[in-house]
């Protein structure tokens, strides 16, 4: 079996190996050693990942099932204001006794390493374009200030380069081919 570095994501499973039907709870609170995610949403370095679930022995390996919760930091894609975002994902994966093309993860040295599994699930659950609230109106294109319900900045002046087109109406068109 291959050796690997043990981390807070590494869980010993020596009591479950080759004992189908045996299971035990899985509860971890893990502080991230580095930032996860890029773009407008991420889990910061030092952020807490809570893992609650169970490990179950089956014939092919160890089945890990868990709910993973954390809090992401984000920047609104409309108004650019920072905010926090609760995040919850469910994971279920088989850690096989011997790795082949049918399985992505393996039991190594009587341990399972949950980090790649949890990292993939959490990072993929981060929103690509997060918004601070569903009705966020974004920024005023002229002033760059955040729009609010009471700001009355819906009357954005028309760009003078396009002003001539505002006089054009559908009735001005003809049905003649050009």
Q: What is the pLDDT of residue 1?
A: 42
pLDDT, residue 161, reads: 84
* Cβ partners under 8 Å of residue 111, min gap 6: 4, 6, 10, 11, 12, 13
> How many alpha carbons fall within 13 Å on the CB side of residue 106?
12
Task: For the chain, give every domain's residue range.
Answer: 10-125
Residue 134 has a CB neighbour count (10 Å cut-off) of 5
pLDDT at 163: 79
pTM over 0.85: no
Residue 113: what are its φ and ψ, rounded to 5°?
A: -105, 110
Residue 140 pLDDT: 85
Give the pLDDT of the chain (178 residues) as one tens digit per residue.
Answer: 445 678 889 898 989 888 998 999 999 999 999 999 988 999 999 999 999 999 999 988 899 999 999 999 999 999 999 999 999 999 999 998 877 766 778 888 888 999 999 999 999 999 999 999 989 898 888 887 888 755 555 555 667 788 788 777 766 666 666 5
Contact predicate 10/116, CB 8 Å:
no
Q: How many CB atoms lie within 10 A of CB 94?
A: 19
Torsion of CA 18, 24, 25, 29, to 10 degrees: -50
Report which secondary-structure segment, H or E, holds 23. Answer: strand 23-31
> Beta strands 10-12 and 41-42: pairing type?
unpaired
């Amino acid at each position: 079996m291959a050796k690997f570095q043990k981390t807070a994501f590494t869980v010993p499973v020596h009591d479950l190996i080759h004992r189908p039907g045996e299971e035990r709870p899985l509860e971890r609170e893990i502080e991230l050693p580095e930032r996860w995610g890029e773009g407008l949403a991420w889990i910061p370095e030092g952020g807490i990942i809570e893992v609650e679930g169970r490990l179950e022995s089956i014939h092919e390996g160890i089945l890990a099932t868990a709910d993973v919760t954390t809090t992401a930091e984000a920047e609104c894609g409309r108004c650019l204001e920072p905010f926090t975002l609760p995040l919850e994902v469910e994971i279920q994966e088989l850690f096989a006794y011997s790795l082949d093309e049918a399985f992505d993860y393996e039991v190594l040295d009587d341990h399972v390493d949950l980090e790649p599994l949890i990292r993939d699930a959490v990072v993929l659950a981060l929103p690509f374009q997060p918004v601070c609230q569903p009705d966020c109106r974004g920024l005023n294109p002229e002033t760059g200030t955040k729009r609010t319900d009471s700001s009355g900045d819906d009357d954005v002046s028309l760009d003078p380069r396009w002003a001539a087109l505002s006089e054009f109406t559908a009735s001005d068109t003809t049905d003649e081919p050009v």
